[in-house]
Amino acid sequence: MLRLFFKLPFWVYLLLAVGVGYLTEQAVVQGKEREADRAQALRQAPPDVVDLSAYDPANNRALADEVVVSGWINREHNTVLTKSKSGITTGMRYMYVMAGRDDPEGSRIARAGIILTEAEREAFLDASGQFLSGLLPQGFELTLNGQAMSSMSFSDVALKAMKEQGVAPAKNFFFLNPFLHGRDVALALDPSAEKRARTIGYGIAGLLVLLALGKFVTRRRAVLAPKGDFTRGPVVSSDGAERALAVARPHSGPHVCLEAAPLPKRATRVWIGGLLAVAAIAGLVILPSPYGTLVAVGVLVWRILPQNGHETSWLGAVQNPLGGMTSHWPGGRSKAVARKMASDPFARLRQVDHGQV
């Protein structure tokens, strides 16, 4: 799959970067809405306690999905959840299945599920005395304040474990994220949430933009690479007025005759500069200022530097009409070197008295 991903054309990565940027902004907007709900929920009293047997999300779920429910933990279904890859455990959680007052002992109905990390499990056990609210025939009754969620980390593994144990989720089943450290702490605003979401999202978008630029540079250099070299035969500059390739053709005489074969006309490079400008603008718009500036400066420097012995301009790379290499960059080749390279290396082959090659 990764191999196929890295074979995509550069413009696909740019589209993916734009899509990731859009999704990041949507996530930020949704995060702000959740933060507003949490702030409003904190200004209100918590919802009334409801037994899990009578729980109705339409009536018992408040702002920020806050609930206060009572029930008992069916210890027969306490389960350690694990995720593994290639036989190596990559994650572990602890699952507790809760039932309501009306559910008999040994019930295989799950009203709510609790999934905790190792640290959360220790905090839950330490604070269990605070959650104790009564004694039922089925066991201790707990009253928990928390957030009702349709899914969470390891929820798919939990549902699979319930199915293997023959436990059926109730109609209004939910996963409970208990407020282990109090309601005020759980519903407090997270000032770094927006920055964290933007950093992750735009970081991914920036990587996609850089990958697109790398793909584009590789493709461009392959297109603009010299078409001939000494291993393929005598090649003369193809950028002269005649745009011709010198090809040795056999003749009846003892001499070698070089004839000019027309080269295909090179496509205009205006679109190359345009695409790079779009990439730079996209980097500035999509990415945060540090990343966007880095991408834009990288594109600018890359366009100024000579590429593969070609002179660079904002409309694309061009060669010296004489076949040599020139550059406006201070570190470019000297004029003497340019003149030397512009000289015809096959002048001797054109001499009439040259009988051997």
Angle (CA) 250 252 254, round 5°: 85
Question: What confidence score (pLDDT) does residue 218 get?
Answer: 83
Any idea which of 175-179, 232-236, 240-244 has the lowest mean pLDDT? 240-244
- The radius of gyration of the chain from alpha carbons, rounded to an integer in Å, stands at 35
Residue 69 phi, psi (nearest 5): -125, 155
Contacts of 106 (CB under 8 A, 6+ apart): 76
Q: What is the pLDDT of residues 295-336, one digit of tens each?
A: 666 666 566 555 544 444 444 444 444 444 444 444 444 445
| Domain ranges across the chain | 44-186, 206-350
How many CB atoms neighbour CB 267 within 10 A? 10
Contact of 64 with 47, CB cutoff 8 Å: no
DSSP state at residue 263: P
How many CB atoms neighbour CB 92 within 10 A? 14
Top mean-pLDDT range of 113-122, 248-257, 297-306, 314-323: 113-122
Q: What is the pLDDT of residues 127-136, one digit of tens each?
A: 999 999 999 9
Contact of 355 with 254, CB cutoff 8 Å: yes
Is the torsion defined by CA of 137, 138, 139, 144 positive or negative?
negative
pTM of the predicted model as reported, rounded to 2 decimal places: 0.61
pLDDT at 150 over 90: yes
- Going by pLDDT thresholds of 50, 70 and 90, the confidence category of residue 29 is very high
Any idea which of 156-170, 205-219, 336-350 has the lowest mean pLDDT? 336-350
Question: What confidence score (pLDDT) does residue 221 get?
Answer: 77
